[in-house]
Amino acid sequence: MSSGPSSSSTNGLHPHQESSKHLNHAYHMNGFADPTPHNQKIIDYLYNYGFQRGEYADTVLHVHQNIYRLHAIILSRSPFLVQLLSTSPQGQVGVLRTIYVPVEREPEVTQEGFAIALGYLYSSFSLRLIQPENARAVLAAGCMLGGMDELCEYAYSICKSSISVDTIGPWLEFVDAIPPPSSGAETPGPELSSIRIFGPYVQKLRDDVFHFLVVTLPNILELHATSETTPTTPGNGREILLQVFSRVPFDMFKAAIESPNFQIGSDQARFKFAKEAIEARKHGIARGLEETVVLAFGGGNFGTSAVHVTRKMRKRPLWKVNS
């Protein structure tokens, strides 16, 4: 008995060639059956019943103190989780596979941030849960899991817009933890872990903080550049700027003071501001170090900036012992 041409099947479905042509023709010609509402229902079902309730799960995921009942086919969207799945024991038939996500050395990945990124594997609904307070943790988790560029870009945009006078302190701590550029010969140690997880977003965030300090903050405080020795400053704007710069890591402090975009007045005004900031830094971030600022007249030899900041270790006093 002759057999007809074989057709591919997916989960027991055998599409008829003529039927498929008819459906495609009807869709393109008559706008038949817009699939968007149906697709959305499937995604909502997966998120509510698959992620939130763990129905019909085949995988148990342990992270922090949380236990998730999830689905390997969804988790496989993440390259990081695919690696864990491929290296974990399959287990007996009927027994759920168990994987453990190591985050002990990733303090930036919080429980909330990881939960939002994990939920994104099921639905973009997770994007609605990203707030300024958790955006950096979501970004860290998204970068770690991989395969979620949209989530990472959105979380990064929230991070960028959240930099303000009220939040600059934690962002300066973040910048201070960024290691200086290296030749690449060194092997990253555990102390770099919490920063390297952000990948290319590390430099982006650093640049955003720098731009806030040099351009945005003086504008917010209305420190108008003038030809006078001191800038026109309403209220205590200059005092706020001094308080902020007293906590800026040295490399960024130096770059900001010397930047031509740091427009708070004349070179003399910028020099005076730097001296006051350095005095305030002695009791905090620069303790044990000697920071100085000089003003070059007539152009000097400091490149494009007439104001130049340096730092060195403070010399220990020598004690003379009389015999």
Q: What pLDDT, on a 0 to 100 scale, did the predictor assign at position 92?
A: 67
The DSSP element (H or E) to which 240 belongs, if any, is helix 237-245
* The predicted structure's pLDDT at residue 22: 41
What single-letter amino acid sits at 166?
D
Q: Using an 8 Å Cβ cutoff, are 309 and 271 in contact? A: no
Q: What angle do CA 281, 287, 288 make, to 5 degrees?
A: 140
Buried b (16+ CB within 10 A) or exposed e, 100-122: ebebeebebbbebbbbbbbbbbb
pTM over 0.75: yes
In the prediction, which pLDDT does 9 show? 41
Q: Which helix (H) or strand (E) holds 156?
A: helix 149-162
Domains of the chain, earliest start first = 37-160 (3.30.710.10), 214-313 (no CATH)
Buried b (16+ CB within 10 A) or exposed e, 30-43: eeeeeeeeeeeeee
Q: What is the pLDDT of residue 73?
A: 96
pLDDT value for 255: 96
pLDDT at 36 (0 to 100): 83
Residue with tokens 């009942």: 69
Q: What is the pLDDT of residues 138-189, one digit of tens each?
A: 999 999 999 999 999 999 999 999 999 999 999 999 999 987 665 443 444 4
Tens of pLDDT, residues 12-35: 444 444 444 443 444 444 455 566
Q: Which residues of the chain have pLDDT under 50?
A: 1-30, 183-191, 193, 227-233
